[in-house]
Amino acid sequence: MKKQVNPIIGAAILIAVIGGVLGLYTRGLLGGRKLRGGGMGGGPTPMGSPPPEGLRTVIVTTLAGWVRPGYADGKGLQARFNGPSAITAAPDGSLYACDSRNHRLRRVAPDGTTTTVAGSGPVDCLPGGFADGPAEQARLSNPSGVCVGREGAVCFADTGNHRIRLLRDGRVSTLAGGPTPRDALGFERGGFRDGPGPEARFCYPAALVVTGSGDLLVADLGNQAIRQVAPDGRVSTVARGAGLKNPTGLALLAGGGLRVADSEAAALLDLTGAAVKPVPPGRVGLPPRRPCAVCLAPGGATLVADAEWHAIFGIKGASVSVLVAGHLPQRPGPGYGDGTGDAARFARPCALAYVKGTAYVADFGNNCIRAVTGPGLDPTTWESSPEPFGPRPPRRGVPGAGGGGRPGGGRRAPGGPGGGPQGGPPGAAGGGAPRGPGGPGGGPPGGGRRPGGGPGAGQPFGGRKG
């Protein structure tokens, strides 16, 4: 007779293994580095100087979702997300969002009504799945990039499956990418190969944009590359390496170039042809610390989401950088709060879309979609933000999001003690905006590299494989 294993012991072992996987994955996403002193500190900066704050001329509101993770369709705060990792605007004024930890593609109407447009299977779980077919039966795995292509097709990066896929006429199909070898835990490792769609290979593709010719440009995180996908699915490499470390955000420039937010390089990069050049940080003002998403604003200005400082920045030309929304005490940490730009709080914002005077933010750690409006979004009104707390310190990893919200600010959640929502935004363990190798679950697109032997992908979540 075979010896029977006590089911309680078996369940305990399974939980321990999953916990270890999520720990490794989170380290890969966040770079394995901690912000000294915790990350939830507040109060004035040294010498009594006030900390930089966002603009009082912008208003931040929650369009859809709530800080507690979950999965539910509904209007406004009744909807639930679990790690929204990417958003894009559709011609009809709606938004499409990648709900990474739920392995779903969601649509958010202008009034905040959220519906699921693709994906099935278990939610809030470590592995997703893969299946083409009718949208309500298709399986996804940590999607983390989305745009609307030609003829209304919704193109998205299915990061955990290392594929570029399409939602069109109620069906999901694979445009480029295919199966790759699996690691010891059974997760696909990804690969690198140019060629026809079914033969091409990616390694944690993340952000993507569509060009005027209908081609897709894809941030291929695990390969530290920008790839191009033709309408017929053929894949070619535009740039690889050459300063690219962990490309997590893309925006097309008016002149035809591409602006890249690279969270590991802690810089914005401009790509023209195959040439990669850093965007000057500006002669004055406070530049973003770890840019992970970028979109264009009027007049060629740029909005940037900073996953380490949990804030939204604006950059105009080569001289002005302004803190649009957020609050930077000596130890910036995640929080939640609607209100004017100086009172608003975010938790690892990781995607942006600008539509007719409104900037939309995928607030990954707060599990919701936020909207930023007001005259302060007009770049002609921007003045540079002061440098906080003296010279800029060396960059460190994104702090975890496990604490509570900022005391004394933001909207109180049901049962919360005030300040931020009770318990604060969720931690980074478990599914999430894939941005770089690092495991099948994880947090928002971020920097850092995957620890050796770590399990699979993230918003890809972590950059180069260790």
Q: Tens of pLDDT along 95-126?
A: 999 999 999 999 999 999 999 999 999 998 87
DSSP SS3 for 366: helix
Give the mean model confidence (pLDDT) for residues 310-328: 89
pTM: 0.77
- Say how far apart CA 63 and CA 108 lie, in whole Å: 9
- Say how far apart CA 464 and CA 245 lie, in whole Å: 8
Residue 386 has what pLDDT? 61
Q: Is 187 a residue whose pLDDT tops 80?
A: yes
What lies within 8 Å, CB to CB, of 238 at 6+ separation is 217, 225, 226, 227, 228, 271, 273, 274
pLDDT-derived band at 302 (thresholds 50, 70, 90) equals very high
Residue whose structure tokens are 């979109």: 295
> Which among 337, 336, 313, 310 is positioned nearest to 400, based on CA atoms?
310
Residue 281 has what pLDDT? 63
Structure token digits, residue 194: 């140019």
- Say how far apart CA 159 and CA 167 lie, in whole Å: 15
Give the mean model confidence (pLDDT) for residues 342-367: 96
The more confident residue out of 2 and 184 is 184
Q: Is 449 a residue whose pLDDT tops 60?
A: no
> Which among 446, 396, 405, 451 is positioned nearest to 221, based on CA atoms?
446
Q: Is 47 a residue whose pLDDT tops 80?
A: no
12-21, 158-167, 255-264, 273-282: least confidently modelled range: 12-21
The more confident residue out of 4 and 247 is 247
Contact 208, 222 (CB under 8 A): no
Contact 16, 10 (CB under 8 A): no
The total of other beta-carbon atoms located within 10 Å of residue 393's CB is 11
Query: What are the residues facing 311 on neighbouring strands?
Result: 306
Give the mean model confidence (pLDDT) for residues 297-319: 90
Q: Is 20 a residue whose pLDDT tops 50?
A: no
Residue 415 has what pLDDT? 33
Q: Is 431 a residue whose pLDDT tops 50?
A: no
Residue 282 has what pLDDT? 59
The more confident residue out of 385 and 71 is 71
Strands 95-99, 368-373: pairing is unpaired
Give the mean model confidence (pLDDT) for residues 79-89: 97
The more confident residue out of 206 and 279 is 206
Give the mean model confidence (pLDDT) for residues 303-329: 90
The residue count for the chain: 466
- Say how far apart CA 311 and CA 464 lie, in whole Å: 26
Please provide the average confidence, as pLDDT, over all residues in the chain: 78
Residue 218 has what pLDDT? 98
Residue 13 has what pLDDT? 45
Residue 75 has what pLDDT? 97
- Say how far apart CA 65 and CA 369 lie, in whole Å: 6
Residue 210 has what pLDDT? 95
- Say how far apart CA 418 and CA 278 lie, in whole Å: 42
pLDDT-derived band at 234 (thresholds 50, 70, 90) equals very high
Q: Is 367 a residue whose pLDDT tops 90?
A: yes
The more confident residue out of 230 and 41 is 230
The percentage of the chain sitting over the pLDDT mark of 90, rounded to a whole number, equals 56
The more confident residue out of 258 and 273 is 258
